[in-house]
Chain A
Amino acid sequence: KNQVEQSPQSLIILEGKNCTLQCNYTVSPFSNLRWYKQDTGRGPVSLTIMTFSENTKSNGRYTATLDADTKQSSLHITASQLSDSASYICVVSGGGTASKLTFGTGTRLQVTL
């Protein structure tokens, strides 16, 4: 079964600190991996998208890594801000249907003063 697992389930950090979120997947064959940010009550918004050949991609203070051999990805957030408080969802495309996105359950990040 195609699955995407994320850890930790939730995380609280102080403003200005860095953090790293983890994603492991079993989707095969693999097409691409995306990280989305979902604010409460809103739809997910894409942060990064990486294909098999890419192992690092940055978007401002967000840096995603991908190890396609171990089927792991991480999202590193640098110098966190209060506005980073949201759910971060790892999404993998593939599993025989490139159009189908398999979502992880997300990491709930709370940035506090």
Chain B
Amino acid sequence: GAGVSQSPRYKVAKRGQDVALRCDPISGHVSLFWYQQALGQGPEFLTYFQNEAQLDKSGLPSDRFFAERPEGSVSTLKIQRTQQEDSAVYLCASSGPRGGNTEAFFGQGTRLTVV
């Protein structure tokens, strides 16, 4: 597609429920990032993929958070046993093969509300 696509746009989950958030990056983009953005705050880094390899997952807040990108394209961020503090917008970004100096394009995000 023309841009980074995320689905669903909105998700309401009951506390304790598992959720899966999907990211379709720009075709051909090697790098893929997940960020968590709390209300009124800037995005916080969660994890980074280069192709199918998860090179950095230092930002994942707990072992309830898991991300994968098995074929180096679409990525899924899974949150198990959701808690209210997981409520946030989850942003996905992708960038091309030239590493850190290329522009990162963001999707519109998935707004997760845990009730």
Contacts and interface: CB of A to CB of B under 8 A. Distances in A.
B46 to A, nearest CB: 10
Given A43-B91, A43-B109, A97-B56, A103 B43 contact: yes
Nearest to B45: A100
A45 interface: yes
Contacts, number: 63
A35 B59 CA distance: 22
B48 interface: yes
Q: Is the interface of A mostly helix, strand, loop or mixed?
A: strand
Given A43-B4, A43-B91, A43-B109, A101 B42 contact: no
A8 B30 CA distance: 35
Given A43-B93, A99-B99, A106-B42, 17 more contacts: A36-B106, A42-B108, A43-B91, A43-B107, A43-B108, A44-B106, A46-B103, A46-B104, A49-B103, A89-B43, A97-B56, A98-B99, A99-B31, A99-B55, A99-B56, A99-B100, A101-B104
Interface of A: 4, 31-32, 34, 36, 41-46, 49, 51, 89, 93-94, 97-106
